[in-house]
Structure 1
């Protein structure tokens, strides 16, 4: 399993707690997507269930490791989006899933060691599910561990967050990120890292899927709209058909670059006609629109309103 260098401090601290037999009963692994929280969780959980670990690292060969990697270890479970009665995948984690989890944790470990449950994404629990989990967190069973993984931990109730040991992943230094990207064989690592806002995992994924070209398309579209050479409706349609949330990320990034250029009294790359205050409002609106696309509102109207405001 590939180890990301910015994981090592968290890893060392948890292994020290394990050595002192002072493991918490719940961990909240949080931070931006792309920093390998789930890889860390998988590695840590497997190490706890491994029958012959070395410095907390799973051996990959014992019965526990083989069952874990096959997804059949009886003392490990992942709770995520379930299916509704009509077979459609849910968009939230519901209370019945948490109740089943509590019943499972009330039973003894089949291998006589840890019982581990991962809730991912934990920030997708609805209010009833979060309230049901609270009782489990307040009355933990011996040698059980809950691993909550969340990209947006602020969506979790404070009562849940306060009962978990928080493991927060931050963006690594630029030098560390670039070294990791180059070792991973990412071409044009600097441009990819800039596009991803300093997030190396996201930079790697975006470089592999051709997102850098998409970033240039977004800037070209905004430049055309600023000079009256583009149609907001046509741009909105194209953005909606191809990675709209990513395009809005790049649009907000472009607006931020425009503001930075103005701060140095130079011409911005997009030659926006908006004044400084309006440009700042548009930047915030682009980020809000990206969030709103995940809701029930019509994406085409959201994008059209935003792009019309740019023009």
Structure 2
């Protein structure tokens, strides 16, 4: 199904349920970005709609497979970020989108087989949209499966999570991740994996797009600010210019490394002036700021507040 070995167990469990005719009416694919949830979803949906799958893997040549590949299969409904009236992209999934989805699912499958609806990212539904989805989850249509994808499943209401069969995607062991990265031709796989917190998918991406340089830049910025050097506004501008969420990720990671170095009596990588309790609180603050970057608050103000707390 996939070259990502850590997905094999979840795939086998779902296919066993499919063969028994015991698939749930709703699935929640949950876990950090980069582990292959969307690759898994794509392969699963193709196999579910294929007219002649082998072990759940689509044949790629039947009429259904051709329609899926062309994006015109009538029994697939995909819901993601819509477009606002002013033409800009939404940052959340709204209630009207979910209502339209529910109306579509009330109709029968056009091919007489499965009807598949996906919501990605499901954790971007606002409260009204999530509430509207409950009725669909509570009154499922026959031969319809709803698949939610969430990088941060805790953002979903418990009422939604409890009505879905959850498939958790976990970070694999360091050995499995390194073997996969090396097979993918990733240079300096160990450093990339450390930067990505053990997530091999992110590590592969970050090894080629300058993330390791950004990680080093963040640590230099924090060390300089702790020593009273550097301009906080200049730091904010640089962090904001590319991928602020990634910069804040690296900042939180650096704070954790500082705490570990103190506990182990090693030289401190950042020379932070914060005591242990304040440093731990700053780590939490960084994670909250990273989450807040998804919302409507101004990015520069969020970053400036975080950096001011560091100094």
Q: Secondary structure at the match of 1:208?
A: coil
Shift of 1:287: 1.5
2:81 is matched with 81
Shift of 1:101: 1.5
The number of aligned residues is 311
2:56 is matched with 56
1:219 is matched with 219
In structure 2, C-alpha distance between the alignment counterparts of 1:8 and 1:135, rounded to whole Å: 33
Shift in alpha-carbon separation, 1:37–1:265, aligned structure 2, 3 A: same
1:260 and 2:260 correspond: yes
Offset from partner CA, 1:191-248 (integer Å, 9 cap, x none): 0000000011111111121100111111111121122222222212211112111111
Shift in alpha-carbon separation, 1:85–1:297, aligned structure 2, 3 A: closer
Q: Mapping of 1:92-171 within 5 angstroms? A: 92-171=92-171
Offset from partner CA, 1:131-178 (integer Å, 9 cap, x none): 221111111111110001111112222121111100011111111111
Where has structure 1 moved over 6 Å in runs of 4 or more?
none
In structure 2, C-alpha distance between the alignment counterparts of 1:85 and 1:187, rounded to whole Å: 45
In structure 2, C-alpha distance between the alignment counterparts of 1:107 and 1:294, rounded to whole Å: 34
Offset from partner CA, 1:53-101 (integer Å, 9 cap, x none): 0000011111111110111111112111112233222222222222222
Shift of 1:2: 4.1
In structure 1, C-alpha distance between the alignment counterparts of 2:130 and 2:293, rounded to whole Å: 24
Unaligned 5+ runs, structure 2: none
In structure 1, C-alpha distance between the alignment counterparts of 2:204 and 2:195, rounded to whole Å: 10
**TM-score (norm. length: structure 2):** 0.96
In structure 2, C-alpha distance between the alignment counterparts of 1:163 and 1:77, rounded to whole Å: 20
Offset from partner CA, 1:262-306 (integer Å, 9 cap, x none): 101122111222221221122112212222222233322222222
In structure 1, C-alpha distance between the alignment counterparts of 2:290 and 2:39, rounded to whole Å: 26
RMSD: 1.4
In structure 1, C-alpha distance between the alignment counterparts of 2:293 and 2:134, rounded to whole Å: 30
Check whether the contact 2:91–2:295 (CA below 8 A) recurs between aligned residues. no
Offset from partner CA, 1:22-55 (integer Å, 9 cap, x none): 1111101111111111111110010000111000
In structure 1, C-alpha distance between the alignment counterparts of 2:23 and 2:294, rounded to whole Å: 36
In structure 2, C-alpha distance between the alignment counterparts of 1:243 and 1:97, rounded to whole Å: 28
2:273 is matched with 273
1:284 is matched with 284
In structure 2, C-alpha distance between the alignment counterparts of 1:301 and 1:112, rounded to whole Å: 53
Q: Greater shift after overlay, 47-56 or 215-224?
A: 215-224
1:182 is matched with 182
In structure 2, C-alpha distance between the alignment counterparts of 1:235 and 1:83, rounded to whole Å: 32
1:172 is matched with 172
Q: Secondary structure at the match of 2:27?
A: strand
In structure 2, C-alpha distance between the alignment counterparts of 1:135 and 1:204, rounded to whole Å: 40
2:197 is matched with 197
Q: Greater shift after overlay, 236-245 or 181-190?
A: 236-245
